[in-house]
Structure 1
Amino acid sequence: MSVAGKQPPPAPLERPGSLLVPTWTKTGIALLYDEVSENAYDIRLKLTKEVLTIQKQDVVCVSGSDHSANHRTVTLRRQPVGGLGLSIKGGAEHKVPVVISKIFKDQAAEQTGMLFIGDAIIQVNGINVESATHEEVVHLLRNAGDEVTITVQYLREAPSFLKLPLGSPGPSSDHSSGASSPLFDSGLHLNGNSTNTAPSSPSSPIANEPKYEKRWLDTLSVPLSMARISRYKTGTDKLRSNAFEVLALDGVGTGILQFYTAQESADWLRAMSTNISDLTLQNMKMANKCCSPSDQVIHMGWVNERLEGTDSSQLYKFKFLALKGSSFYIFSTPPVSTLDWVRAEKIYNLCEVLFKIHKLWLADDCWLQANMYLGIHQDFDLEDQRLYCFSVMAGHGKSHYFNVELGSELAVWEKSFQRAIFLEVQRTGSKTYMCSWQGDTLCFTVDFALGFTCFDSKTKNVLWRFKFSQLKGSSDDGKTKVKLLFQNLDTKQIETKELEFQDLTAVLHCIHSFIAAKVASVDPLFIDSQSIARKYMYSN
């Protein structure tokens, strides 16, 4: 797809500092891309705190009697210098209409005040040309005499390459040979075959005729509350170039919004994501008014989940995640009422899940540092090309692999999982699991204050107890058995405790959650320093 003409000036951008919840307001020119026809149409975007509005240009009657809202009939008087004062593009041979692509200043077409770039020519002197080729329309216009009556209709969805800004030079064909091309301007500002050697009176609007203006009109408004954004082709890991689409909660979508530069695309993506996040925060605050202090929503939002075990092109599907109270929720659609929380696809206890970052967009030297100090590495063996990926591992070996659109979103999810898990550990205080060793049924407790305790399930007699600081290592068979290595405070010797659990993964995740929460309670800055996502994403 090519974009003809000059690039529009940078859109005005404002982030009001006086608002309690900061939002982006933004207006600018973009393209609406049609994947079927592979054409792009000029649009204007208006972003407010709560709504994204798409506008398309149309010609409207601003005064006088408008006899036909769709068609306009205009009489042009061919000038000795400048001819009809317009150029055209398009033609039936390329399955596009013949469209006015240029109007030259102070010449016949502009003087009428009724013709505009983007007008499709319907008739020439009463002859219908909707199915005519480019060359046929050029020939008809050049040989129509000194007065040419044309009927036009403005095309709001004319492909952008058919239109050029007023007076822009643009490419043109060699008309001296009589040849013309439907994808390049055929200039009808030349004299043509005129029989009048004296100057004609200029084409000008008659006093009682309707007057027209080209204006941007609202065609679609997309509410941003609970909306989602995707830069990828539906269900795949193929990233669109300088483009994305916005989908509202009710499924209404903008279509593919394409931008002239990568920077412009990134600016719009950040602005819309910010407003969606701000509205999500407001929804969380409203939901939390109906929840007890121990059941608050910490964070929620849209992600893409990779589908496992599929060979189709539908590799990813939208999911809505929420961290609320003691649980991690996975929804197909957002919960909008209190009753909706029971219809989650999956619900996991936060103490028994493990959050892991898989892919960030970092420079090579940053990855070297991340791998050396934090043990985080790029999973190049993964079969997709999506950036900003994380997984959530749960009990019984279950795992979910997610992707978000921005690095800042990944950083928020990392921070939110940490906070939600730490709060749940502190609220719960302890978790006890049934286990066994050498035929004996035992209970294993992880306690935020006391550390690890193992006792007989029948007699309740404590068999051993160790603090978190005494745990020096562990190993497991990947199935049910684990060895915990503790240092005896008196002898300084390592003691090995072997246990067997039905759901070993959940127990190991719980141990990790309690230890991380303990460290955070002692040294919060240490936990923040370990956030590779926050450290590098915000700087990028």
Structure 2
Amino acid sequence: MAARRTGVVEVRVHSRWYKVIASLEHDALLITVDENNFDCVGITGVHSSNGMNNGISTNSFGAAAAADINSNMSGVDDSCQLKEITSIPDTLSNGKRRVRIHKPDSGGLGISIKGGRENKMPIIISKIFKGQAADLTEQLYVGDAILSVNGESLRDASHDEAVKALKKAGKVVDVEVKFVKEVTPYFRKVSLLSEIGWQLEGMANPEPLSTADCASSRRVPLTLALIVRNLSLPLDAENRVIEIHSPDRRHTCILRCSDSHQAALWLRAINAVASDLNQKALDDTNSITGDVLDSGRVVYMGWLCEREPKAPSALQVSDTAERQCLMDRVWNPVFVALTGSELLFYDLVPWTREAWAVPVTSKPLYVIRVVANSIGRSSSRAGSTHSLSRNSPGRYSLSSGRGCSLERSSSGVSALGVAGLCSPEEFCFSIRIGTPKGVEQRVLRCETASSRSAWLRALIQGPHDCVASIKTVKFECSVGASAMECILTVHLDDGLSLERVDGVKDERHLWSHSFEDIEKSGDDGQRLLFLKFKREDIPRELDMLGSPKPAVFTLHTFLSAKLARLGLAA
């Protein structure tokens, strides 16, 4: 399948930037290293390694070594932190050197080797693991050819013979080595590629590369990956950097584009592929969760960034660079899943049934209101009012003092009106949640406009679908000077009703009203909910035994869902 986008970018490995070719495929980002144009862009400039010396080309070496067995003497996986290949001294001579290695009681030498007689190559150190025995000598380098071990020649040894010789060498190992400068470009490439990409847990990984591609390319899976800017690195003043984090956030692929325009194009393209993959992963997700989620199947999910609740407003800072730096520091990634009746928050992508069962937080959808706003907008509000009225045949309106509003015009077209649109650079929105302690606000950020639009649609439609499914929500409350215990019922079809908890069953019902009867609703922000119905002079006052906001937000959601349903039915 043809790549959706291809170009030269830089990838960051061990604090250095390397030029690579990036190709966006249908399920992953393919990173390819061209060893004939392999530049390391460091702090002091550009260091290029290519060409042919002494009759040994890096291309032919790479082909021979590709089939080798990686003998990791330390027993440590290749993903461990590696000794920098760029740390090889420029003055290192091609003469023989003798180095003594003291092997610990537990563990190995801390090296990987390649080559051997079968490949017509010497035994070459391909990796040195930091902090292990070989690294502690500070005298061995990637690219050193091992000529002998404790006096036993390895000049004509096969790969397996070299492995056996190193394993049986004892606690004190004397090696004779000679640096082979010609192979360092290849091992630099191998080291770089070993740091790129990851394997997905519990889900299908991208299609495997061909044998020829494996030597020079790695795939970065995009399914459920966190794609973000300005998270791991200091302020990207030029807005050129894109970060791709693995679902468990243990691995990162950081890209730098030639300019901000190219970065924006790459970000949109990568995000679009990732969004499609995330939705395709819903079937796998729901097969994993099964019945573990009482709130039903997952219908939408993905990564967002959440603003720290107590973070200072960046809009209060006049300097542009300082404001951007402040904004970058106050955002934390959060994985969000929308089910049939709840909004779930996780620190990482939950791969197992057990992980899905324990979200960091969960909120019922019917107490959630989405507001498309700027990050500096205050969340304080003393009360709220809503009304559903039929102004003329075929026209209904739902009004709110603030937040989202839905209106069906006489033409029969439903529209969503939102207040306080955020700037294109922020792609942020907030959700306001009615809780027993009051209104909780969570400010969230996407990385592209299309992602933001998709989340807004999901978070507006989700509560509507939720109340259409559950139909009824009940709240405990008290009424009157005697604090009579009652139950307030909100029903999608029947409206509002109030009944006593105690007493004869037939006498418990106190009153009921349709949604169209609601003239005004409000609250004092503390405990009291006020409901003014048509043909009644005095508003009804209910003590909600805590913050009235859950009831207020639930009423708003039911009104909004009712209006949306009326709009679709007409």
TM-score band by shorter chain is 0.5 to 0.7
1:301 match: secondary structure: strand
User: For structure 1, which segment, 249-258 or 465-474, has the greater mean C-alpha deviation from structure 2 after superposition?
Assistant: 249-258
Take 2:41 and 2:454, find their aligned partners in 1: how far apart are those partners?
A: 49
1:277 match: secondary structure: helix
2:541 aligned partner:
498
Match of 2:35 among 55, 58, 70: 58
1:223 aligned partner:
221
2:226 touches 2:244 (CA, 8 Å); kept in 1?
Answer: yes
1:33 touches 1:255 (CA, 8 Å); kept in 2?
Answer: yes
1:394 Cα shift? 3.6
1:357 aligned partner:
372
2:332 aligned with 1:303:
no
2:259 aligned partner:
261
Take 1:356 and 1:310, find their aligned partners in 2: how far apart are those partners?
A: 19
1:426 aligned partner:
468
Aligned residue identity for 1:466: H
Take 1:354 and 1:516, find their aligned partners in 2: how far apart are those partners?
A: 10
Cα 1:124–1:253 change in 2 (3 A) is closer
1:474 Cα shift? 2.1
1:398 aligned partner:
440
1:426 match: secondary structure: helix
Take 1:434 and 1:485, find their aligned partners in 2: how far apart are those partners?
A: 19
- What TM-score, normalized to structure 1? 0.58
1:486 aligned partner:
533
2:559 aligned partner:
515
1:514 Cα shift? 0.6
2:239 touches 2:263 (CA, 8 Å); kept in 1?
Answer: no
User: For structure 1, which segment, 503-512 or 279-288, has the greater mean C-alpha deviation from structure 2 after superposition?
Assistant: 279-288
Take 1:514 and 1:156, find their aligned partners in 2: how far apart are those partners?
A: 64
Cα 1:452–1:504 change in 2 (3 A) is same
2:66 aligned with 1:26:
no
2:240 touches 2:256 (CA, 8 Å); kept in 1?
Answer: yes
2:375 aligned with 1:377:
no
1:121 touches 1:151 (CA, 8 Å); kept in 2?
Answer: no
Match of 2:490 among 446, 468, 482: 446
Aligned structure 1 segments of 4 or more residues deviating by more than 4 angstroms = 33-36, 88-91, 94-101, 112-116, 119-127, 150-158, 235-240, 289-294, 310-314
Aligned residue identity for 1:422: H
Per-residue CA shift, 1:103-138, capped at 9, x if unaligned? 9xxxxx99x99799xx999689989xxxxxxxxxxx
Aligned residue identity for 2:420: H
2:362 aligned with 1:347:
yes
Cα 1:351–1:96 change in 2 (3 A) is closer
2:22 aligned partner:
45
Structure 2 spans left out of the alignment, 5+ residues: 60-85, 96-179, 189-212, 313-325, 376-403, 406-415
1:35 Cα shift? 9.2
1:455 Cα shift? 1.9
State the structure with bigger RCO (CA 8 A, min sep 6), 1 or 2.
1
1:421 Cα shift? 1.2
1:323 aligned partner:
338
Take 1:27 and 1:58, find their aligned partners in 2: how far apart are those partners?
A: 18
1:58 touches 1:217 (CA, 8 Å); kept in 2?
Answer: no
2:522 touches 2:552 (CA, 8 Å); kept in 1?
Answer: no
1:410 aligned partner:
452
1:286 Cα shift? 2.8
1:251 match: secondary structure: coil
Per-residue CA shift, 1:228-262, capped at 9, x if unaligned? 11112439887761221101124354442111233
1:327 Cα shift? 1.4
Take 1:335 and 1:443, find their aligned partners in 2: how far apart are those partners?
A: 37
Take 2:185 and 2:463, find their aligned partners in 1: how far apart are those partners?
A: 55
RMSD in angstroms over aligned alpha carbons? 4.5
Take 1:515 and 1:56, find their aligned partners in 2: how far apart are those partners?
A: 57
1:121 touches 1:152 (CA, 8 Å); kept in 2?
Answer: no
Take 1:303 and 1:422, find their aligned partners in 2: how far apart are those partners?
A: 22
Cα 1:217–1:475 change in 2 (3 A) is same
Cα 1:314–1:241 change in 2 (3 A) is closer
Aligned residue identity for 1:30: V
1:467 Cα shift? 1.2
Cα 1:468–1:239 change in 2 (3 A) is farther
2:429 aligned with 1:389:
yes
Take 1:235 and 1:386, find their aligned partners in 2: how far apart are those partners?
A: 18
1:434 Cα shift? 1.0
1:100 Cα shift? 7.8
Per-residue CA shift, 1:299-330, capped at 9, x if unaligned? 11111112223689852221111111321111
Per-residue CA shift, 1:50-78, capped at 9, x if unaligned? 22222222159xxxxxxxxx9xxxxxxxx
Per-residue CA shift, 1:267-297, capped at 9, x if unaligned? 2212221222222112212333564797121
2:33 match: secondary structure: strand
1:46 touches 1:53 (CA, 8 Å); kept in 2?
Answer: yes
Structure whose alpha-carbon radius of gyration is higher: 1
1:456 Cα shift? 1.9
1:469 aligned partner:
516
Take 1:90 and 1:257, find their aligned partners in 2: how far apart are those partners?
A: 13
Match of 1:455 among 476, 495, 499: 499
Aligned residue identity for 1:389: F
2:248 touches 2:348 (CA, 8 Å); kept in 1?
Answer: no
Take 1:90 and 1:417, find their aligned partners in 2: how far apart are those partners?
A: 43
Matching of residues 40-439 of structure 1 within 5 Å: 40-59=17-36, 99=48, 218=216, 220-234=218-232, 241-289=239-287, 291=290, 295-309=296-310, 314-359=329-374, 374=417, 376-378=419-421, 386-395=426-435, 396=437, 397-438=439-480, 439=483
1:246 match: secondary structure: strand
Equivalent pairs counted in the alignment come to 372
1:411 match: secondary structure: helix
Cα 1:222–1:250 change in 2 (3 A) is farther
1:198 aligned partner:
none
1:90 Cα shift? 11
1:263 Cα shift? 3.4
Per-residue CA shift, 1:421-456, capped at 9, x if unaligned? 112111211111111122222221111111111222
1:464 match: secondary structure: strand
1:123 touches 1:152 (CA, 8 Å); kept in 2?
Answer: no
Take 2:549 and 2:57, find their aligned partners in 1: how far apart are those partners?
A: 73
2:410 aligned partner:
none
Take 2:35 and 2:233, find their aligned partners in 1: how far apart are those partners?
A: 34
1:182 aligned partner:
none
User: For structure 1, which segment, 284-293 or 349-358, has the greater mean C-alpha deviation from structure 2 after superposition?
Assistant: 284-293
Take 2:365 and 2:465, find their aligned partners in 1: how far apart are those partners?
A: 10
1:235 touches 1:314 (CA, 8 Å); kept in 2?
Answer: no
Aligned residue identity for 2:522: S
User: For structure 1, which segment, 439-448 or 312-321, has the greater mean C-alpha deviation from structure 2 after superposition?
Assistant: 312-321
Take 2:562 and 2:547, find their aligned partners in 1: how far apart are those partners?
A: 23
2:357 match: secondary structure: helix
1:355 Cα shift? 1.9
Per-residue CA shift, 1:148-169, capped at 9, x if unaligned? xx976775899xxxxxxxxxxx
1:344 match: secondary structure: coil
